Amino acid sequence: MKIALGQLESGTDIQANLAAIDRFAASAAADGATLVAFPEYATYEKKIVDASFPAVAEPLDGPVCRELAATAARHGITLVAGVVETSDEDRAYNTLVAFGPCGARLAVYRKIHLFDAQGFGESAYIKPGPSTEPVVFEAGGAVFGLMTCYDLRFPELARSLADAGAQVLLVCSSWVPGTHKTEQWLALNAARAIENSVYVAGVCQAPPVSVGRSLLVDPMGYVEADLGLEPGVRSVEVSLRTVARVKEQFPMFRQRRLG
């Protein structure tokens, strides 16, 4: 099966962001992809998370998610994107939403590890998701697991998704630039793939707000695609047979003695 990585350059113009998502979804569908993944904060993004994020937040049945659902249905493709969701307080949720090719909502994941690091304070304006349960969904015969950006540094979340049956991890991100940050981004995506015998699709915002380098890593750690620094969309094959073969070659899930 084919999945597509949509590397955006999202800004504060929500309609422009939605238009870019629609263009990339159309291109991915035309290329035969069954799923297209977009970054964290795909529909609204700035260099710094501030009070404007809760101000633009919407419920999951609001106009932004309705448009994302319509895009998925219009192009007959499963679509995953990061949105800013209202909560029950003055902070918002940093949320990933998956819509199926008929426009139905398949999964919702609210980021649990907020980026209070490197001088940033995401939790001042974003509320952590209330549940740490792994969020997986099925599309095109494969099982996908959802993670957001800083989650990548917490290997136990990736392992819980693999334990829940995920064959492909979608790591939707806006990875903050800095010293060695691109190297860490590449290494951590590869590590999560190798240690769980799964594909990892790390989908990132483009510079300057983020580092770009959206990539697909196979279960052996080989980089199947790297989108570089410019916005764009690319379709890549994933093989569930490869997942099964690597799990058999390295039967870590049967051999581990912790947990």
**Three-class SS string for the chain?**
CEEEEEECCCCCCHHHHHHHHHHHHHHHHHCCCCEEECCCCCCCCCCCCCCHHHHHCECCCCHHHHHHHHHHHHHCCEEEEEEEEECCCCCEEEEEEEECCCCCEEEEEECCCCCCCCCCCHHHCECCCCCCCCCEEEECCEEEEEEEHHHHHCHHHHHHHHHCCCCEEEEEECCCCCCCHHHHHHHHHHHHHHHHCCEEEEEECCCCCCCCCCEEECCCCCEEEECCCCCEEEEEECCHHHHHHHHHHCCHHHHCCCC
Catalytic residue check, 149: yes
pLDDT digit string, tens, across residues 142-152 = 999 999 999 99
Q: What is the pLDDT of residue 125?
A: 98
The residue from 9, 65, 111, 204 that is catalytic is: 111
H or E segment to which residue 170 belongs: strand 168-173
Peptide bond into 208 cis (omega under 30): yes
What average pLDDT does the structure give for the chain?
97
Please list the ranges in the chain whose pLDDT falls under 70: 259
The residue from 9, 40, 45, 58 that is catalytic is: 40
Third-level CATH fold of 2-251:
Nitrilase/N-carbamoyl-D-aminoacid amidohydrolase (3.60.110)
Catalytic residue check, 204: no
The residue from 65, 149, 172, 204 that is catalytic is: 149
Each domain of the chain, given as residue ranges in start order, spans 2-251
Q: What is the pLDDT of residue 258?
A: 78
